[in-house]
Amino acid sequence: MSTPMNKRPIGVFDSGLGGLTVLKALMARLPHEDTIYFGDSGRAPYGSKSADTVTKFSLQNARFLLEQQVKMIIIACNTASSRAYDAVSAMAGLPVIEVIGPGARTAALVTRNRRIGVIGTRGTVESQVYPAAIRRCLEGPAEIYQQACPLFVSLAEEGWWDLPVTSDIARIYLEPLLARGIDTLVLGCTHYPLLSNVITATAGPDVRLVNAGGPIASIVAQTLEQMGLKNDSHLPGQHVYYTSDSVEQFTLLGSAFLDEPVEQACRIDIERY
């Protein structure tokens, strides 16, 4: 007998480790849900790669999760959400949640002066999905300024979260946005929450940072509820992890991103999917 739909795990994928910041918000909001996380560390990062490479990788990742009998797929990567949401959604046949919409909606809610900055990878910025999504949520005129910050992912993964040089790089990337008088800044990459101290300090007290982790978890909770897919268990959820590269590296760095130990990680050959 197959597992009832609501008891199945939620599938989450990302190019590597960044999506663990989304998983963390999800575990806090939905403590009884089981999850399966796949981090494509063997082919990371996605941010500098072309739309069709990212789409191909995302479809493989989603096929792997479907094989694991998930009830929902969360694309916990802004680049993959911006490039491959339609393709994954068309293929999956079950709810697919992306990470752009929740951040865009939050930015539209919190801005006072309608000047919004968006930082992300080159792929996310080029795709223009954030400006389009924010404009859909904000009636009337709005100014949206984007900046690609390719070095932020390396800084996050190097663990240089609080070095002076990280502040210098943040200043180089953020100054053009700050000069426009933004009052809201969307962290449009799931790696960036790790640098939020430096980004907050650089942006100053008048700029509100939008980390979409919480809003994404709310959308997931709402979707599960509406579709009758919520797990009614009272036990703590089980969390398993898969990676396309070394389990040791994933476990070590992943625990820093998740802020708790990553256990039960396995390696898979994603190119088979």
> Which tokens is 238 given?
């089980």
Write out the binding residues for its own copies, residues 172-191 only, by CB under 8 A.
Answer: 172
Helix (H, G, I), strand (E, B) or coil at 72: strand
User: 21, 35, 41, 82: which one contacts its own copies (CB under 8 A)?
Assistant: 41
Q: Which of 158, 162, 175, 259 binds its own copies (CB under 8 A)?
A: 158
* Integer CA distances (angstroms), 271 to 48, 142, 268, in order: 20, 42, 9
Does 201 interact with its own copies (rule: CB under 8 A)?
A: no
Taking the C-alpha atoms of residue 94 and residue 206, their distance in angstroms, rounded to an integer, is 41
Residue 53 near its own copies by CB under 8 A = yes
Q: Where are the alpha helices (DSSP H) in the chain?
A: 20-29, 51-67, 78-92, 100-110, 122-127, 129-137, 150-158, 164-178, 196-203, 213-226, 247-258
**246 touches its own copies (CB under 8 A):** yes
Binding mask 65-104 for its own copies (x = CB under 8 A): ----------------------------------------
Q: Is residue 244 near its own copies by the rule CB under 8 A?
A: yes
Q: What gap in Å lies between CA 2 and CA 24, rounded to an integer?
A: 28
Number of residues this chain uses to bind its own copies (CB under 8 A): 28
Residues 6+ apart with CB under 8 A from 204: 178
DSSP letters for 214-244: HHHHHHHHHHHHHTT------SPPPEEEEES
Establish whether 137 is a catalytic residue: no
Amino acid letter for position 183: D
Q: Which of 67, 86, 162, 168 binds its own copies (CB under 8 A)?
A: 168
Nearer to its own copies, 35 or 41 (CB): 41
Tell me whether residue 266 is one of the annotated catalytic residues. no
Q: What would the x/- binding string for its own copies be over residues 129 to 148, using CB under 8 A?
A: --------------------
* Residue number with CB closer to its own copies (8 or 49): 49
Contacts to its own copies by CB under 8 A: 41-43, 48-50, 52-53, 150-151, 153-155, 157-158, 160, 163-165, 168-169, 172, 244-246, 248-249, 271
Could you give the residue numbers annotated as active site? Answer: 77, 189
